[in-house]
Amino acid sequence: MRDIIIIGAGPAGLTAAIYARRAGKDVLIIEKAAMGGQMTFSPLIENYPGMPALSGNELADKMVEHALSLGADVELDEVTGVEDLGDVKRVHALGGSFDAKAVIVATGAKHRHLGVENEERLTGAGVSYCAVCDGAFFAGEDVVLAGGGNSAMQEALLLSETCKTVTMVQNLAFLTGEETLRQKLAARENVRVIYHSVVTGLEGTDTLTGVRIRNTESGEESTLPAAGLFVAIGLLPDTAAFKNALTLNEYGYVQADESCRTNLPGVFTAGDCRTKAIRQVSTAAADGAVAALAAVRYIG
Ligand SMILES: Cc1cc2nc3c(=O)[nH]c(=O)nc-3n(C[C@H](O)[C@H](O)[C@H](O)COP(=O)(O)OP(=O)(O)OC[C@H]3O[C@@H](n4cnc5c(N)ncnc54)[C@H](O)[C@@H]3O)c2cc1C
């Protein structure tokens, strides 16, 4: 029986482990893939306080080392569900079951990918899924943004501050989302929107040089020269394993407020997998602290 089981070893889960261990609790982290989570895909992180510029892997290594040095245990396994046995929570994984007094779900999210040729190869070499994270690397450049919803419009506005031009590629005849954002975008001279179009391929050997698009009405194909492609077609929270135990919102995020409590007493949630406005390393770490201290209080 553990005091706290943390599911997911991204910044949220690792911060939760640090706080829980410093509160004297016995902690097991269960991680199904890479220790460090999404950070390990980021070539450069420049917005984590106190760390002006380092690779995602370096930041991940520091957080992992910190959590492990305080005595958190790690199990490499994939969690498939959480069962409520009253004062005990049973965490089911592919390799077996683990019991704890409290559980923190910190399973993060994945950016939806376009699924086009060269996308994986050029990720980090022109292709990005986060304008807040990577927009500054494309100052003065021409960039393309795939998507047309609220987050895509917000990303386009942000990119237009520093990039030479921002070309949005939207599959529909209009931008979905808020009118105020549409108006702000329309006022930006360096932003244009190409409607009824989808990205079909990416060009570039070492780094991205162009984005191939197709007009879905005429079938016409063309290439937009670009140093960057930002993909903003949605996030997929990694929460399917919890759909029977926890309340998820319509997009699959675990329902929780700033206290990081879920609908199930003794189960907390932190980071990108929960309902929230901003999904970043710093906000995930902040959640980890809040969730861990809430779990510590719950155990008593
Ligand atoms: C390419 C890229 C660049 C980025 N750049 C920046 C940046 O510069 N600055 C910034 O602040 N943010 C950046 N981000 C966003 C940032 O990485 C995330 O907001 C942050 O990692 C979220 O942390 P998390 O702990 O909530 O989730 P994650 O980092 O997603 O970690 C969740 C972990 O849970 C594990 N997991 C999921 N399901 C299970 C399961 N069933 N069983 C066991 N383990 C499970 C996953 O394998 C993963 O390791 C970037 C993201 C990407 C993809």
For residues 259, 262, 263, 265, the Cα torsion angle rounded to the nearest 10 degrees is -90
Identical fold, 2-110+235-299 and 113-231: yes
How far apart are alpha carbons 194 and 90 in whole angstroms?
A: 50
pLDDT digits (tens, 9 = 90+) for 258-281: 999 999 999 999 999 999 988 999
Cα 148 to chain center, whole Å? 19
Active-site pick, 26, 77, 130, 272: 130
What pLDDT is attached to residue 244?
95
pTM of the predicted model as reported, rounded to 2 decimal places: 0.83
3-state SS class at 29: strand
Across residues 126-153, what is the average pLDDT? Answer: 92
How far apart are alpha carbons 174 and 193 in whole angstroms?
A: 9
Q: How many angstroms is it from 190 CA to the middle of ligand 1?
A: 32
The domain locations on the chain are: 2-110+235-299, 113-231
What pLDDT is attached to residue 42?
78
Of 170, 185, 226, the closest CA to residue 202 belongs to 226
What pLDDT is attached to residue 157?
93
Whether 16 shows a pLDDT value over 90: the answer reads yes
What pLDDT is attached to residue 178?
81
Pocket of ligand 1 (CB under 6 A): 7-13, 30-34, 37-39, 41-42, 45, 47, 78-79, 106-109, 111, 129-130, 133, 238, 241, 271-272, 279-282, 284
- pLDDT above 90: percentage of residues in the chain: 88
pLDDT digits (tens, 9 = 90+) for 167-182: 999 999 999 978 988 9
User: Counting atoms of ligand 1 from 1, which one is nearest the CA of 270?
Assistant: 26
What pLDDT is attached to residue 45?
87
What is the CATH class of 2-110+235-299?
Answer: alpha beta
- The mean pLDDT of the chain is 95
Q: Hey, which residues does 46 pair with through a beta bridge? A: none
Distances (CA, A) of 126 to 13, 157, 160, 207: 29, 19, 17, 6
State yes or no: is 130 an active-site residue.
Answer: yes
Whether 150 shows a pLDDT value over 90: the answer reads no
pLDDT digits (tens, 9 = 90+) for 191-242: 999 999 999 999 999 999 999 999 999 999 999 999 999 999 988 999 999 9
**Taking the domain 113-231, which CATH number applies?**
3.50.50.60
pLDDT digits (tens, 9 = 90+) for 30-69: 999 999 999 887 777 888 999 998 989 999 999 999 999 9
